[in-house]
Amino acid sequence: MEADNAQLLSQLKDIHSAAQPSWWPPAPGWWLLALLVLLLVAFLLRHLGRRVAVRRRKRQWLAALDALTAKHDPQTRPQEYLSNLNRLFRAVALRAFPDTACARLQGEQWVAFISGLMPEDAPARGLEALAQGPYEAAPELDASALDRLARTWVDRYG
């Protein structure tokens, strides 16, 4: 019996360490972390895309405002200038406030809508020309004030 035990004992190997764990497949916690990182990257890319789109749209509207001033001189063609400026104000308003009735506003109501949304430090004098100016034979307007107000409008709500 001792010979059998000695033979069995000779077959035993010494204590050895376990094999290194494989890097693949990762543990469930790493999968969760990867999913969270992907969601965060997707959110950041979406947010960045929106900001880029807003900046591009503002640049386009400001370029349209510059082209409007170049194309329709407010002193010689005030009706066309006011009509196109009004169109720019309305385009920005429709983009910024799609769920309001701003598309149907006209005249003094339209000017009151714009004036009510202008910042406190931007005096809304001169906006009255948008109400009746395109329809008058010789409208009185302050083109530089209207240009500043339009730039403020685009900057704020564009």
Residue 100: the pLDDT is 87
Under DSSP, the state recorded for 102 is: G
In a domain, 94, yes or no: yes
In a domain, 9, yes or no: no
Residue 102: the pLDDT is 86
Question: Is position 39 within any domain?
Answer: yes
Number of domains in the chain: 1
One-letter amino acid of 138: A
Q: Spell out the SS3 assignment of 11-25.
A: HCCCCCCCCCCCCCC
Q: Is residue 29 part of a domain?
A: no
Q: What is the DSSP letter of 107?
A: H
The dihedrals phi and psi of 125, each to the nearest 5 degrees, come to -65, 140
In a domain, 98, yes or no: yes
The predicted-structure confidence for 57-66, as pLDDT tens digits, reads as follows: 999 999 999 9
